[in-house]
Amino acid sequence: MTGELGQLALCFALALSLVMAVAGLTGARSEAATARAIAHGATMGMLVFVALAFGTLTYAFVTSDFSISGVASNSNTLKPLVYRISGVWGNHEGSMLLWVLVLSLYSGLVAMLGRGGERLTSAALGVQGMLAAAFILFILFTSNPFLRIDPAPFEGAGLNPLLQDPGLAMHPPMLYAGYVGLSASFSYAAAALMVGEEGWARAARPLMLLSWIFLTCGIALGSWWAYYELGWGGFWFWDPVENASLMPWLVATALLHSALATEKSGAFRTWSLLLAIGGFSMSLIGTFLVRSGLTTSVHSFASDPTRGLYILALIFCAIGGALALFAWRAPKLQGGAAFEAVSRETMLLLNNVFLVAACASVFVGTLYPMVLDAMGRDKISVGPPYYVATFAPIFFALLLLVPLGPMLGWRRGNLKEVLRALAPALGLAVIAALVVLLVASPRFLTGALAFAMAGWLIGASLLDVLRRRGARASAFAAALAHAGLGVTLMGVAGTTLWRSEALVVVGPGELMHVGPYTLRFDGVTQRQGSDYRASRAHIALMSGDQVKSVMTPEQRIYPADGQDVSVTAIRTTGFQDLYLALGDNRGDGRWTIRAYVSPLAPFIWLGGLVMGLGGMLSLWGRLRVRATLPATAAQPAE
């Protein structure tokens, strides 16, 4: 019964999304007030039915209804409840349903916030309706999670054990809330082109911020998961799937800055529109990369060529349509406002140039091997050194300029004054570099440079906070986000430059050394988990002859899936991680152990969190201002 209910709900949602598209676009004409009301209602109705379909699928997973194919191939009665729920999106079909759910939620938010003129909102809903219809059709025709199996199996195949992890249970919803959320900015931009309304940047701002926050936190969470789950001690692998989430982030970050200039000083009017289109285009391309089966990783589930073709066609229509609209309508819009060469606008322009260049380098590196492969040429892969050589210098140049932006005035600024005001930050940068030069011997030059940059960013943020003291909380959003960049940079520099690692084969009672730590291997015991068997190593962290604590990395075997997963043991001081992974059994009680000491590793994700908090502060300011002031007077401090 549940399967049919879900399928029916999805069909209703499809009908409503079509109503939304037609009524929304009709409502872009000023006299069509009825159509606007219909579009509004259809949006809410679609949200309800998509939520119902998603709820139905979740219910089927929770109750282990194996007559539904999605449940049978991705769940198992032995799974703990939380992983039966996360199993909903731990597979292609369910994750596409989550995609549509997030799209519907953002459509609902567009309708409810209803900022900008009525016509703008209506046209934006129309665009959202078209997107929703296209993706619901995709689900119904190529990826239906509600298909029945007859006879139903007694037991399900289970969820990929690598995905059975609290971090990863939360990672896809968060990432989707980010990059599908960019659809709202896309729809607002397309709507602005249709109705020629200037106020779109302000109207789209809250949802732009919301999706950026989720995207930032989602990427940080994914990187943290890769760090503790994959057992390699790395935090970013330049995997195509990781890049698929990084590219929308880079464009969304550029959009966040450019749209601010559009809103505050009228600069970059057309450019911001283009970025809003580009941001969601990157999300669509990312979805294609992950869902088409072109890439092979934990993230890509079943590969089916029809799915890839459908998404590819969808991308062409969405991006092509939006760009055609842009080419047609953008010249009719009012040109951007003028500004001096030394001004905040110039800094935001440079920010955009560097972010887009960084995105271009990732884009080429990610797609080049796939294009070659698709043309039937060589099978190649592009290694991390490519990204280090292209992405890193661009990003470094960007970071150098970050502190200048918030200090310079709109339209016209005084560079000398700003540099004088930033002198303490420069001092902090020099001190940071000197400390690194004195304390750390190997890799000191790159390290000194990285820490000088972190000092520059964090110092400038502190100065910015001091300068604005007494202002509304949201005035500190930029300072917080920029400081987060500095924190992440320290973490990245610390782990990549000064990580020590040891790879040893040890027997019971033998000692091993890694970095400043001495460890004693006390053997491996077997234990039975909920749906897995684990070999658990007992490794004592020694302080002289005393055992300070015992760490227990594991190798888990999931019989239902026929898979093994390594569970790392990490002991952190907040400033340094000791990281242990259990390797293979070499017989006679001897095992391979991999150990890393990663200085400042937690800073990588802490910085991401700080950036996300900066975004939240800004969003909170927006919503509060909106709540207390009449709409026309709403002028948030930034």
Which residues lie near another protein (CB under 8 A)?
160, 162, 296, 298, 338, 341, 353, 357, 360-361, 364-365, 368-369, 378-383, 385-386, 389-390, 394, 503-505, 555, 562-566, 581, 583-584, 586, 592, 594
Shortest Cβ 474–another protein spacing (Å): 32
Determine the Cα–Cα distance for residues 76 and 84; give it in Å rounded to an integer: 7
Nearer to another protein, 421 or 557 (CB): 557
Nearer to another protein, 32 or 504 (CB): 504
Secondary structure of residue 180 in the 3-state scheme: coil
Nearer to another protein, 565 or 606 (CB): 565
Buried b (16+ CB within 10 A) or exposed e, 247-261: bbbbbbbbbbbbbbb
- ∠ CA(135), CA(139), CA(141), 5° rounding? 115
Shortest Cβ 378–another protein spacing (Å): 6
Strand order in the sheet with 590-599: 500-506, 590-599, 576-587, 569-572
Question: Residue 399 contacts by C-beta under 8 Å, 6 or more apart in sequence?
Answer: 453, 456, 457, 485, 489
Shortest Cβ 592–another protein spacing (Å): 5
> DSSP readout, 444-474?
HHHHHHHHHHHHHHHHHHHHHHHHTTTS-GG
Shortest Cβ 562–another protein spacing (Å): 5
Shortest Cβ 576–another protein spacing (Å): 22
> What φ, ψ does residue 471 adopt, rounded to 5°?
-80, 175
Nearer to another protein, 199 or 384 (CB): 384
Amino acid at site 610: V
Shortest Cβ 385–another protein spacing (Å): 5
Nearer to another protein, 438 or 503 (CB): 503
Nearer to another protein, 60 or 282 (CB): 282
Nearer to another protein, 357 or 637 (CB): 357
Shortest Cβ 64–another protein spacing (Å): 22
Shortest Cβ 373–another protein spacing (Å): 9
Determine the Cα–Cα distance for residues 38 and 49; give it in Å rounded to an integer: 16
Shortest Cβ 502–another protein spacing (Å): 10
Which among 463, 350, 334 has a CA at the least distance from the CA of 398? 350
> What's the gap between Cα 319 and its chain centre?
21
Question: Residue 249 contacts by C-beta under 8 Å, 6 or more apart in sequence?
Answer: 178, 212, 215, 216, 219
Nearer to another protein, 234 or 515 (CB): 234
Nearer to another protein, 148 or 586 (CB): 586
473: alpha, beta or left? (left if phi > 0; alpha if psi -120 to 50): alpha
Determine the Cα–Cα distance for residues 205 and 462; give it in Å rounded to an integer: 25
> What is the 8-class DSSP label of residue 338?
P
Secondary structure of residue 158 in the 3-state scheme: coil
CB 311 within 8 A of CB 291: yes
Shortest Cβ 240–another protein spacing (Å): 13
Nearer to another protein, 404 or 436 (CB): 404
